[in-house]
Amino acid sequence: MNKKYTGKQVIKAGEFLEGDIINSADEFDRAMDILSYWRFSHEVPLGEALEILREITLKIDKTAIFAKRLKRYVSIVLKLKRFKQMKLKNMQDIGGCRAIVSTPKKLYKVARELKRRPEFKNSQGKIRYKDYIVNPKEDGYRGYHIVGQFKDEHGDKKDIEVQLRTNIQHDWATALEIVDLFTGQALKSNRGDENWKRFFSSVSAQFAVMESIHLFNALEDKEKYKLYVKQLNANPEAIESFDATREYSEKLGVVEVFEAFTHSLKIVDGHLEKNSEAGYVLVEVDTTKQEVKTIFFKDSANKNAEKMYIDAEKRATEKNGIVVALVSTTAVGGIKEAYPNYFADSTDFLKYLLFITNASAPKNKRNTFSDESDNKKHTTEY
């Protein structure tokens, strides 16, 4: 890719796009083209970051799931609006890749190995990272982020953010993104209905209780549930979030809401899971038509993928209810597993939510929990 725009032009494009009023269609198209150029300049560094992440992680967890993505236009603009001092040129997560691992222990082992790599140390030898597991975000998000620098095709360094999550942390994040997708909220940016905010924050605390159980992810569901109830009995500090989860789950009709999202969404492209070739998938979710379309691109067609991506994003700005993303995994069959939010797949999240709603609340707030279900409407087999 030839150098086309200067750093100042990238900054100005970001400032234009974050403005509340866009008077000129030509100016908007130019700003979007600059955004596309800047975003796509992260593609080579992103690929290198993912290879390092895969190499390290697979030695620690052979069941890990990997994904990479270039940040969506909507997410970029929201972030620029939230952080007024931030410039498009300095945004550190334009390119991001992720590893989803089975346990917190393995997650931290991957994090330690990444920190040993020179790519994750700046010129002063410092490492930029955020541990949202020890210190969750206000909305309840848990995960581990670390930023590295990788060279593009011109030899310039680009920031790439690596996210590490466990399976259950990924289930939580997926559920929140599904609600954002189908309700038009921005809970991920701490903007949205207070009831949903409180629900997700309390669920996160309960999921942390589950994940404190040794090898929780490897257990059978019946054993997971039994040990979760036992852990609640030993953790009186978890009662508040337990009560809040149940309260807001019932108030919002969470199970019914998620089931409605799943059953209403029609997947137009039925060939997605059959293709085992690595590449890119352009995903377009239309919540008004309740359908999701996908277009597959081979790795060699990455420039064409980016062009169609920015064109689709331009169209999406003219119509409500359209969400566009360009995503990639090591194999296309893994797209649904890595990005279940675009397919309204909340299966695992609901399973663990039902662990909470099926555990009877203690009569005395400091007495024991029961594993007798007081929620007869929705049940799971343990």
> What residues does each domain of the chain span?
1-191
Q: What is the pLDDT of residue 382?
A: 38
Token pair recorded at residue 110:
């991957």
Tens-place pLDDT, residues 197-223: 999 999 999 999 999 999 898 999 999
Decide: 146 and 128 in contact? Cβ < 8 Å: yes
What DSSP assignment string belongs to 184-236? --BGGGTBS-HHHHHHHHHHHHHHHHHHTSTTGGGS-HHHHHHHHHHHHHT-G
For residue 360, list its beta bridge partners.
Answer: 370
What is the C-alpha separation between 306 and 39, in angstroms, rounded?
A: 9
What is the C-alpha separation between 266 and 354, in angstroms, rounded?
A: 25
CA distances from 303 to 40, 74, 156, 259, 309 (A): 8, 21, 19, 37, 10
What is the C-alpha separation between 350 and 181, in angstroms, rounded?
A: 17
Q: What is the pLDDT of residue 374?
A: 44
Q: What is the largest CA-CA distance in the chain?
A: 68
Q: What is the pLDDT of residue 276?
A: 55
Q: What is the pLDDT of residue 371?
A: 57
State the Cα angle at 69 between 63 and 72, rounded to 5°: 145
Burial (CB count within 10 angstroms: exposed 0-12, middle 13-18, buried 19+), residue 84: exposed
Tens-place pLDDT, residues 301-330: 888 888 899 988 888 888 888 888 888 765
Q: What is the pLDDT of residue 376?
A: 41
Q: What is the pLDDT of residue 379?
A: 42
Q: At what angle do helices 73-82 and 302-316 cross, to 10 degrees?
A: 60
Positions in the chain whose pLDDT score sits under 70: 1-3, 21-22, 267-278, 329-334, 360-382
Decide: 18 and 77 in contact? Cβ < 8 Å: yes
- Just give the CATH number of 1-191: 3.30.460.10
List of residues 6+ apart from 211 with CB closer than 8 A? 104, 166, 168, 169
pTM: 0.86
